[in-house]
Amino acid sequence: MQRALTAIQPTNILHIGNLFGALLPIVEAQRDSQTFLFVVDYHAITVPQDPKKLNQAILFATACYLAAGVDPKKTIIFQQSLVPGHTELAWILSCLAHMGELERMTQYKDKAKKQTEGVSVGLFTYPVLMAADILLYDTNLVPVGEDQKQHVELARDLADRFNKKFGKTFVLPEPIMRKVGARIMGLDDPSKKMSKSAESPRNYISLMDPPDVIRKKIMSAMTDSNAIIEHDRRRPGVANLVTIMSLVTDDSYATIKARYEGKGYGDFKKDLAEAIVIYLQPLQAKINGFLQHPDALKDILEDGAKRARELAEKKMAQVRQNIGVAL
């Protein structure tokens, strides 16, 4: 059976990009793959975090996973920091990774620019920790949003380099991306992806935004002066809104274009906001339900970590043996 794995940082409340780019693909993968989904809390601290908020965000992310349909009987759900193999393997892989290839990572370049308190070494080596997350479990498939494709490719390169140097140890992983939804753009700036830690909350639709907030954000979303409602990549603002409409209604781009022929942005945005509200309502009710039982969420994370630790420890024993530190 193939193994599929993805992870989300508890940096804020998850947004619809995280849902469509990573969460729903892992729900689909549960049908025919052995699946892993975890909260990457050690990735989150590569940029400054408030400890209390981080703690809540870990439970919140777990509640979102469950509400989206991730089943802890089928998927190993856990918290990254509870499995020490991730950081141990990250150290070993960092001794194989080259400065130049990490300097080329576009996410590092984007995030480094935003840091006001200095850029941490952790932010620079973030992709190596992500490679460890993936390689530790012999992962074949990594459902991710487009922004993470470069990191999965690095994981593949590091696996290949390790295998050539120390003998076959790791499976070479492949990123998988949805045709629609792999890159939801920021509502306030459609030239950049939607991001949880964007400066303005107008950038994203969080999974917990109430109806009036969703309406305001969509009505003020950036478009252009051409009023035709269609999915045209040269018009990123409208194309992004049409993509979101397609994802929440399941209607094709052609159907959406035909429906709004002769109508303006006002009608389209009003309908889009209502469609998002309707789409998110049941999910929000489920998330709130899971959040009522934090101990049950912690149990799920602990149980998942136990299963993950067993697999990780086996792989680490092989890695230590192959690099020559096991006596």
Active site residues: 111, 193, 196
Question: What is the smallest separation between the CB atom of 145 and ligand AQP, expressed in angstroms?
Answer: 2
Angle at 84 between CA 79 and CA 87, to 5 degrees: 100
Q: How many residues bind ligand AQP (CB under 6 A)?
A: 22
260/304 with CB nearer ligand AQP: 304
Question: What is the smallest separation between the CB atom of 185 and ligand AQP, expressed in angstroms?
Answer: 7
3 state SS for the chain:
CCEEEEEECCCCCCEHHHHHHHHHHHHHHCCCCEEEEEECHHHHCCCCCCHHHHHHHHHHHHHHHHHHCCCCCCEEEEEHHHCCHHHHHHHHHHCCCCHHHHHCCHHHHHHHHHCCCCCCHHHHHHHHHHHHHHHCCCCCEEECCHHHHHHHHHHHHHHHHHHHHHCCCCCCCEEECCCCCCCCECCCCCCCECCCCCCCHHHCCECCCCHHHHHHHHHCCCCCCCCCCCCCCCCHHHHHHHHHHHHHHCCCHHHHHHHCCCCCHHHHHHHHHHHHHHHHHHHHHHHHHHHCCHHHHHHHHHHHHHHHHHHHHHHHHHHHHHHCCCC
How long is the chain? 327
76/194 with CB nearer ligand AQP: 194
53/270 with CB nearer ligand AQP: 53
Question: What is the smallest separation between the CB atom of 147 and ligand AQP, expressed in angstroms?
Answer: 5
Q: Between 12 and 31, how does the x/- string for binding to ligand AQP read (CB under 6 A)?
A: ---x-xx-xxx---------
147/188 with CB nearer ligand AQP: 147
Q: Between 170 and 189, how does the x/- string for binding to ligand AQP read (CB under 6 A)?
A: ------------xxx-----
18/34 with CB nearer ligand AQP: 18
Question: What is the smallest separation between the CB atom of 144 and ligand AQP, expressed in angstroms?
Answer: 4
CA distance 130 to 230: 36
Residue 190 binds ligand AQP, judged by CB under 6 A = no
Question: What is the smallest separation between the CB atom of 148 and ligand AQP, expressed in angstroms?
Answer: 4
Residue at shortest CB range from ligand AQP: 21
The footprint of ligand AQP on residues 113-172 (CB under 6 A) is 144-145, 147-148
The footprint of ligand AQP on residues 192-231 (CB under 6 A) is 193-197
247/316 with CB nearer ligand AQP: 247
Question: What is the smallest separation between the CB atom of 61 and ligand AQP, expressed in angstroms?
Answer: 8
* Residues of the shown chain interacting with ligand AQP in the complex, contacts defined by CB under 6 A: 6, 8-9, 11, 15, 17-18, 20-22, 144-145, 147-148, 182-184, 193-197
